[in-house]
Structure 1
């Protein structure tokens, strides 16, 4: 065999592995090669729906690392890689993996935390609020003095009008 045949860099271990289902948030993939790789090597990641994922590729000694700005959403992905071996020969390949990580819902937790903080930080507001509500209920459910006077005057006028018409006849 010639020495140049040993200079090719073949893919070894990948993280995540081909066909693996990842159950934690994933922001980085790593491809290990059995030899050094050169500048110009890259990784392309595509979702099962065909959407290209933005990935920043870093080349290390025998490694090609892809980093994502945010963890990948739960879905299946295809990794297409292309490297230039130390001897200048291009090699390429592809593999797939799936992300199925628990979905965190921090939005639902925030309002609960804020409510607890409001109640514990200002006790005066918490005690004043029920009395304000009670005052509003009294105003809404109880008749006012002006309203009572208007009703009484209306009844008197009605009774007076009935007597006036009855006396005329």
Structure 2
């Protein structure tokens, strides 16, 4: 009597065995991307839900399966706080699994500049732009009056207007460039 050997394929269910950020880790910069590494293949139907300590859910911009990794790109970086990641995976074997892990973000807060706050340089630049616009308006008015008085076919008024416009445009570009450097 012989024995017949049959080859059987065994599949393991897919579970997260590593993540970035890691379970329990405190990250010192805002988190923009999560990576979940699974111990077996997963399908694109895998999903994650990210919530903070108040249960607020954070929007995911993109999710991709790359080998055994599930890459999650967030719409906005996660600010300082405690986070829970709940995942549901569809394994390559067709079985669903789920789990969760936690991490914290302890990132330095960026100093926000209030819109109402105007520096002295900004005020000077705004005043210079206003003066240039007023000068341009005065030149245009003068050109208009001159054109009304002058009935000949010369283009002096047009040329003066174009030159004045170029001067004003140059002043505005100069001031904006100077502002961006400081």
TM-score by structure 2 length?
0.57
1:113-169 Cα deviation digits (max 9, x unpaired): x4335558989xxxxxxxxxxxxxxxxxxxxxxxxxxxxxxxxxxxxxxxxxxxxxx
**Partner residue in 2 for 1:28:** 33
For 1:92 and 1:121, the matched residues in 2 are separated by 58
Kept in 1: contact 2:83–2:102 (CA 8 A): yes
Residue 9 of structure 1 and its aligned partner are, at CA, apart by 2.6
Q: Is the CA contact 1:48–1:77 (under 8 Å) kept in the aligned structure 2?
A: yes
Give the number of the structure whose alpha-carbon radius of gyration is greater: 1
1:43 is the counterpart of 2:48:
yes
The count of corresponding residues between Structure 1 and Structure 2 is 122
Written as runs of structure 1 = structure 2, the 5 A alignment for 1:20-99 is 20-56=25-61, 57-99=63-105
Structure 1: segments with no counterpart, 5+ residues: 124-169
User: Which structure 1 residue ranges, 4+ long, deviate > 3 Å from structure 2?
Assistant: 108-112, 116-123
Aligned to 1:144: none
> Cα gap change, 1:110/1:63 in structure 2, threshold over 3 Å: closer, same or farther?
farther
- State which of 13, 20, 34 in structure 1 corresponds to 2:18: 13
How well do the aligned residues superpose, as a CA RMSD in angstroms?
2.7
Higher helix share: 1
Decide whether the 8 Å contact of 2:44 with 2:64 is kept in 1. Answer: no
